[in-house]
Chains A and B, each alone.
Chain A
Amino acid sequence: MTAVIEVQHLSKHYRDVRAVDDATFAVEENKIYGLLGRNGAGKTTLMQLLTGQEFATRGSIRVFGESPVENAGVLQNISFIKESQRYPDDFRPRHVFASAPWFFANWDAAFAAQLIEEFRVPLNRRIKKLSRGQVSAIGVIVGLASRAPLTFFDEPYLGLDAVARQLFYDRLLEDYAEHPRTVVLSTHLIDEVSNLLEHVIVIDEGRIIIDEEAETLRGSATSVVGTRAAVDAFVAGREILHRDGVGGLASVTVEGLDARARAAASAAGLELAPVSLQQLIIRRTSTSEKEFEATA
């Protein structure tokens, strides 16, 4: 596997805020990554660092083997679609699509035209006059049709309705299958995208807390539900992610139950409930730890 991005001990501090804190990870070629985390976790800062738009306080970044900062050779292979992309005041969508080929060698005008139709973007209206969702659609179209070897989507769908989001996911998958490339999708709509992702990186308070294949994460945690005594006896000695209780009942989320443990749980009269990727991430990020301390 070839690494497209290699980051070592990367930190970015703004005064006393550690937006990115000692992050080390790699992004492999031609996979779809999910960069997940809460608002303010450091997702956008990390992507700005990777695309040379911010300077690191500490650590090293290699994108296509080189530093991305002021490096045209690296940056021309990157498409970065931002949540709040600004356009010049007089710009109309057709100006954006007319200038995109200047920046992206792989630009596919026919694909862009198809997407413009599907997302119903009015080409000749001023961008200032467009709805939030229409502006987001412009970004999504540029990100898809640019077919850059490395594409970042940073919360690309502000204001996009459910139909348009599904269209985005479908077109992304189809085009990725035809033209494999590396995609980093940053989002907090985890349930919507979880099946699209091959690899998941979760950032929380600037730190990388999960860096794992999506399929490994799926089903890695299970909630064990039953009477408090039975649940406590079963989870003793296991790593507990989350604990909830009401009256004599307890629900405890634990990691890695094998078939034997599952059979033992059923035999003890306990219910096992699946934990979705989104729930797993919520349980692993900091708020739930505090809740856990309070209830434990």
Chain B
Amino acid sequence: MTVETREARQPIILLTPALSTIGLLLIVPLGFVVVYSFWLRTATGADQVGFFLDNWVESLTDPFYRDILLNTIKIALITTVVCALAGYPTAYFIARSNGNRLVLLLLLMLPFWISYIIRTMSWINILGVSGAFNWALMSVGLTSEPIQMLYNEATVILGLVHFLLPFMILNVYVSLEGIDRTLEDAACSLGANRWRAFLEVTLPLSLPGLAAGGLLCFVLGAGTYITPLVLGGPTDAMFANLVFEAIITQLNWPLGSALSLMLLVVLGAVVMVYNRYLGMTQLMKGLQ
């Protein structure tokens, strides 16, 4: 075997374990989901094997699914914007703080040590009728009756922001950390005040991090079903809840497969658009 041949084979050999894992854990199951989406559910709940387009026709033409999908995108977008507005100043503060940066980063990671479901349910104890917030309001005499704050779209967004904010902060922080701070000083020395230097120099340079955080928040937010289930009212469903119901409640795995692929295509399209204009490199930085 020549040296060239051996060198050409080395990447394949080194990549084999990773590619095999991805193939087994991602590609093969996805293939099953694709196959399932063309089957049919019978009246008894059993699946009818075959090639039927019924689930796809229903998923793509029924306005019910379209409306819930649009609502999901709306909620995910609002969540992303709120995360960006709340996350950027926080990330900026951490990046510019001296000495205690590690402690702040540790505090940022702390919520990940608690189960996402527990974190979501904690809002019931905070915003519930007997929760801490209502108790505080009544204790200081601001209200005589507890205010109904839970189980609506706003609390769903709140729960999502709580879940996704660290992802945004970390991405923006990584981006801000990579900016040469002397650039701001240079802008100031040329006559810009601090605010203008931030707007003209720091913000544009940190946009890739903001975009990466936004992408993560959007994709994760649009794919969640626990938050609307725990914090939403009767009509606050997101698209993943439809997949859950089709598969779990209605035992209609074929339709659930078609719906989940639909969501995958939409979110995949968002990722592709991001990759086309900003590239995935920044996202990788934020995840490291």
Q: A and B: partners?
A: no
B-side interface residues toward A, CB under 8 Å?
A: none
A-side interface residues toward B, CB under 8 Å?
A: none
